[in-house]
Amino acid sequence: MTYLVAAIDLGSNSFHATVVDTTETPYRIVSRSGEKVQLAAGLDEQGFLSQKAIDRGLDCLQRLVPKLKQVALENCHVVATNTVRVAHNRMHFIHQAEAILGVPIRVLTGEEEASLIFSGVVGEVSSSDYQLRKKLVIDIGGGSTELILGQQHPQHLQSFPMGCVAFSGQFFPHRKIQQSYIQNAVEAAKNIIDKASLSDSWDSWQMCIGSSGTIKALAGLSALTDHGMPYLDLASMNQVEDQLLAFENLDEVVIEGLRPDRGEVLPAGYAILKGIMLSLNLDRIYFSTGALREGVLLQALK
């Protein structure tokens, strides 16, 4: 059906697809689907994806294809992010993935990813009072974290090599949860942002907005809203940490209201966000449902 458009995001933690009906302005969401793949967990120290991780990704795409059968191939827009971007053997995965999907895969640079995320966030808040404010946008993925500053368009973009899947393997040995492990991950994230030496212009934001599954989960657990918009702050983050420390192992993290496949990467995602907040002196972060896929859709519909 020519009026249906799909955005497929091959992320480092999960693969997601959003199908929209373009007969309505700007569009109506027809379906959303996603599956945890944890591609980043299969990246070795030399930067090669394991065959097991590649197979997980390809198997997920095989299950995804039937959900896209009503979308014309020219209306399927597929993007890949950090793990595919940095993997030395990415073409081994890409060629097989393109054969399954029947369409080319666009491997985004860090800056392209950040720009599309910002567009998705701006599109989501365009009808609210937040539209005219200068925004600092944070997106924590499985393999990278993007920071973007701007109002209607991105003015500063930066991508950092830290993500919830990568940090889970790096800072939580034997998949154990301890306060010292969380603190080490927080300090590592803070140091990465500190060393970036962001210019004074990064201080000019008027509101901070987070996107992605990690911030959605943390804002959901915080259960705070302002004029209907979910948010989290340092106090609610500390309460979330207490909840996480009740578990001994990443695989045991099950909290009411938390999506089951989010639990095992949440301690690492929490640590990354806490490190960013401490480095940039952030207290309140709002959550936006708009992110990368929404940015891809808006770009496709221009």
- Could you report the per-residue pLDDT of 258-277, keeping only the tens digit for each? 988 899 999 999 999 999 99
Tens of pLDDT, residues 114-150:
999 999 998 887 666 677 789 999 999 999 999 999 9
Per-residue pLDDT band at 2 (split at 50, 70, 90):
confident
- The single-letter DSSP state of residue 172 is S
Q: 5, 74, 85, 7: which is closest to 47 by C-alpha?
A: 85
Average of per-residue pLDDT values in the chain: 94
Determine the average pLDDT of the residues in 80-90. 97
From first CA to last CA, the distance across the chain in angstroms is 19
Tens of pLDDT, residues 203-226:
889 999 999 899 999 999 999 999
- The pLDDT of residue 10 is 98
- The pLDDT of residue 8 is 98
3-state secondary structure of 80: strand
- The pLDDT of residue 94 is 98
Element (H, E) at 164: helix 164-171
Q: Max alpha carbon distance in the chain (Å)?
A: 53
- The pLDDT of residue 126 is 66
3-state secondary structure of 159: strand
Cβ count within 10 A of residue 70: 12
CA distance 104 to 232: 38
Structure token digits, residue 114: 């950040």
- Residues written for the chain: 302
Contact between residue 189 and residue 162 where contact means Cβ atoms under 8 Å apart = yes
Tens of pLDDT, residues 19-53:
999 998 889 999 999 999 999 999 999 999 999 99
CATH class of domain segment(s) 4-107: alpha beta
Structure token digits, residue 279: 């480095």
Q: Where are the domains of the chain?
A: 4-107, 129-292
pLDDT surpasses 70 at 73 = yes
pLDDT surpasses 90 at 104 = yes
Element (H, E) at 23: none
CA distance 200 to 143: 27
CA distance 291 to 246: 31
Cα dist. 158→175, 178, 263 in Å? 29, 30, 27
- 4-107 with 129-292: one CATH topology? yes
pLDDT surpasses 80 at 15 = yes
129-292: which CATH topology?
Nucleotidyltransferase; domain 5 (3.30.420)
Tens of pLDDT, residues 167-193:
999 999 999 999 999 999 999 999 999
